Amino acid sequence: MSLVLFAEVLLEAVFLSVDPYMRSFSKTHMKEGDVMIGGQVAKVIQSKNPAFPVGSHVVSNSGWRTHTLSDGTGLTPILPEWPKDVSLSLALGAIGMPGLTAVYGIEDVLGLKEGETLLVNAAAGAVGSVVGQIAKIKGCKVVGSAGSDAKVAYLKELGFDEVFNYKTVGSLEEALRKASPEGYDCFFENVGGPSSDVVLQQMKNFGRIAVCGSISTYNDSQPQTGPYPYFTMIFKELKMEGFLQSRWEHKHPETLKRLLAWVKEGKLQCREHVTKGFDNMPAAFMGMLQGENMGKAVVAV
């Protein structure tokens, strides 16, 4: 007996995403008992919608659930040219929302140019690792900050020019200066907190900052206050802009094809931290917030 009505599809989750934004969003927009938000790659197992035939795969914002009944709204089919040897889980990572975030932050917010120097923190994460690689594709010097020696080694494998472990350096200021004595043209901000003020002091005049995340503050019970970097921003004439990838949704199809092409050409390397089992979603989520992952954190159902 079919469970679906006209134009509806029944989805079965294959891979689910855990991302930092879920923490901040859930604190401000959700109440106890709500289904946790999030993206997933799902298989169509029943369909009355010709746009989504049985057996096809889609990306869906269905949240933390194994099965979803959908009228097709908001479903994005996996690209038809997706290679058989590339895991569909990358549609939640480098060829998905994190990859889109990296591209738009670099191109539309920062306007990164060949020969410039870019700093990215949380550089071994889902977004940061893609940011650094795209910047290298564009001919830039890339400096990355990460939280373990294993992550530093991973980023060097990806081609980052300079990488340091922020947990073990004696001075963040000295580490930044050593990595790029001439300063930084662009800063891709994923962490927030007091460390950001240290970075701003070493931005070049007319530097640009793309504010993508603030993971260091997401678990705070009380909002952090200060430091207030206005004088630095004024006298260096810095530009700082927060952004969400959804602003450029009209460009998603084209951008996803570009990301897939870089993967197929070997220019964009993808590492995943895979947790098995839907029941392990909370553990995977908490582990990601604690920095256990290198690359994208996903759950395989």
Q: Give the pLDDT confidence of 5-40 residue by residue, as tens digits.
A: 778 999 999 999 999 999 989 988 999 999 999 999
Mean per-residue pLDDT, 160-176: 97
Per-residue confidence (pLDDT) for residue 2, from 0 to 100: 59
Cα→Cα distances 157→133, 154, 282, Å: 11, 5, 30
Within this chain, do residues 137 and 180 fall inside the same structural domain, yes or no?
yes
What pTM was estimated for this model as a whole? 0.94
Same domain for 236 and 117: yes
**Domain span at 51:** 9-93+272-300
What the block records as the tokens of 175 is 């580490």
Domain contains 255: no
pLDDT, one tens digit per residue, over 120-148 is 999 999 999 999 999 999 999 999 999 99
Residue 300 contacts by C-beta under 8 Å, 6 or more apart in sequence? 14, 15, 89, 274, 275, 276, 277
Residue 266 within a domain:
no
Q: What is the mean pLDDT of residues 52-60?
A: 97
pLDDT digits (tens, 9 = 90+) for 240-295: 999 999 999 999 999 999 999 999 999 999 999 999 999 999 999 999 999 999 99
* CATH code where residue 213 lies: 3.40.50.720
Asked if pLDDT for residue 226 goes beyond 90, the answer is no
Tally of domains within the chain = 2
Please check whether residue 126 lies inside any domain of the structure. yes
Statement: residue 1 has pLDDT above 60: no
